[in-house]
Amino acid sequence: MLWRAYFMATLPPTPFPLRLKTPKPRILDNFRGHFIMRNLVETAGLSLGLLGLTLTTPVYATDEQVPLAKRTEESGVALDSVQQAMELPHLALSLSVDPASESIAGIARYTVKATQPLKVVEFDLDPRFAINQIAVNGQPISGRNWRNDDGLLRITLPQQLAAGSSTIVSISYDGKPRVAPKAPWDGGFVWAKTKNGTPWIATAVQTNGCDLFWPCIDHPTKRVEWLDLAVSVPKPLVVASNGTLQEVTEKDGWSTYRWQAHWPQGYGVSLQIGPYELAQETYHSRFGNAYPIKFWYLPGDKKGAKMLIGQMRDFLDFFESTIGPYPFSDEKVGLAETPHLGMEHQTINAYGNGFKLSPEGYDWLMQHEFSHEWFANQLTDETIADMWLHEGYGTYMQPLYLRWKNGETAYRVALWDLRKKIVSKVPLAPKTPVSSAYYNDDKAGWGGDIYYKGAWILHTLREYIGDEAFFAGTTRLVYGRSDPKPGNFHWRVANTDDFEQVMEEASGQDLGWFVDAYFRQAALPELVSQRDGNILKLKWKSGSKEPFILPVEVQVGGRISTVEMAGGTGQIDLESPDAHVVIDPNTKLLRYDPAIAAWQKQQAAEKDTKAAEKN
């Protein structure tokens, strides 16, 4: 394809040497020449020796945590006018990762294109890193022309950059990156070891963002078009990362892995480093193309790796037949075994579930993380408030997969398990800005609702508008077109309003009342029922200003009837005052359930009692 040739030309050498505050010659030596671009090289047929080693629970490195700067702590902070005007056609990012000192050193060499005149450029970078030098177009600039006090790195250019023009900005930095307090939910580096003491390292930065280990614009709408990533590690460690592996070189006991990725999603750029072996095979898609499935696993886990690759074939068949083509077939389907549970890194999903099967016979974690190749990496939320588009859709793909695989009963059972976890204390997709720190706010419960409530809203919508409209709308949302094929679509940014629009177009119905009640209000709609002789009266109660008009199925004896709820009310003749009635017999409606509310209250009280007894 044409874009494959875009960066075939080589780049000039690094414009300045890497300078470290503390001499680290073995790191410095491996940085020489990392920014020389290589021609695209496919790595077909790569195979490593399969050794039998047994692993135990990973041993995590300990480090005194330095509090994050306020800006670094949050991901997806609203863009200011400077960052809005910056396009990033290319980034050559060179990193050296030293397990012995648990430190990294890097050079980020950006091509920055201005859409408006720029005198200043800005990047996000955790201020715990020491910045050694910044250069513009190969010329070092004075320290007076940049500052990074709070995690927003502001660089004053030697001369104003005109709209439509480009410049090269190089940033040299080093330090000890934040150790993840609770990977993958609270981000940073994970420094672990295998049973035999070999370093095992991973990054997971979703809630805090890419600026935890490289200079970036930490916002979902700002992607680098081309990333050339060179990572140096001590031999015999292996680096698994995004995109396609271009080459591996060795020098002075260190190996440098060069990866290239097209339009990587910010927090989806990741390092997985360990004594990996590689399992791989080629997948032949229903769309006529073929692409590799590659799994970097630890020695001793060959059997599990083969099992998971087999499941991946099944997952691909499901997703491609249900949603559309795998979005990154020109690169790979990638997985890497990690010392944390998992994360949806683009083309290199982190996997740490220990090859555990669910009772339904599949690895639920890998299926969920892989769903994010469609819902996070291909379709990216516009703001943190729209994060349910990632997690709600990703969660709903599991009941749908079980329906596809095992039938309707498996689908309903999986959904009911999710229903008990919905708390609905705050709006799921508020109109006001949401901080990424909200994800870990247990009191609000939003970090759970974006999964479980999001999935249940999608279930209710599908039942309401039907499969044809629901899946047509979903495909349009993900790809921006109704006829996606390999190579004819681009990654997309969307918000909750976009979701509403595509579903209205697909169904031919106004869904403003539906979206307002479920996404913009905190409490779930409540269905009030009252029997008056032979008549069953129904009324929806919702915090929304518009009437909630979702139809309600009612089973009377062996017959199911649909009660239309024009204006939010409806009724049905039961034909007998003694008739047995079941409302919503097939569990299609997401609504307030007093039984679940009472059970949740009981569970919370028991938890508080146990905590008090412990103290």
Q: Is 372 annotated as a binding residue?
A: yes
d(CA 183, CA 267): 13
> Torsions phi, psi of 481, nearest 5?
-160, 160
Contacts 24+ apart (CB under 8 A), 430-436: 430/385, 430/520, 431/385, 431/520, 432/385, 433/78, 433/383, 433/384, 433/385, 434/383, 434/384, 434/385, 434/387, 435/74, 435/384, 436/74, 436/75, 436/76, 436/207, 436/208, 436/209, 436/384
* Furthest C-alpha separation in the chain: 88
Q: Is 64 annotated as a binding residue?
A: no
Nearest to 579 by CA among 538, 535, 528: 535
Angle at 455 between CA 544 and CA 478, to 5 degrees: 100
Q: Are 63 and 272 in contact (CB under 8 A)?
A: no
Strand partners, 121: 155
* Relative orientation angle of helices 302-322 and 364-371, to the nearest 10 degrees: 50
DSSP state of 216: B
In angstroms, the Cα distances linking 586 to 412, 459, 547, 553 are 8, 12, 23, 8
The number of angstroms, rounded, from the C-alpha of 144 to the middle of its chain's C-alpha atoms is: 37
Q: Are 374 and 390 in contact (CB under 8 A)?
A: no
Q: Are 206 and 187 in contact (CB under 8 A)?
A: yes
The number of angstroms, rounded, from the C-alpha of 63 to the middle of its chain's C-alpha atoms is: 27
**Neighbour tally for 599: CB within 10 Å:** 12
> Torsions phi, psi of 567, nearest 5?
70, 5
Q: Are 425 and 419 in contact (CB under 8 A)?
A: no
Nearest to 456 by CA among 420, 509, 510: 420
The first and second tokens of residue 119, run together, are 């005198």
Give the per-residue SS3 of 176-199: CCCECCECCCECEEEEEECCCCCE
Angle at 66 between CA 65 and CA 68, to 5 degrees: 115
Q: Is 490 annotated as a binding residue?
A: no
Q: Are 326 and 340 in contact (CB under 8 A)?
A: no
Burial (CB count within 10 angstroms: exposed 0-12, middle 13-18, buried 19+), residue 258: buried
Q: Are 76 and 383 in contact (CB under 8 A)?
A: yes
For residue 247, which amino acid is it? Answer: E
The C-alpha torsion from 407 through 413 and 418 to 420, rounded to 10°, is 160
Burial (CB count within 10 angstroms: exposed 0-12, middle 13-18, buried 19+), residue 286: exposed
SS3 call for 175: strand
Binding residues: 368, 372, 391
Binding residues for Zn(2+): 368, 372, 391
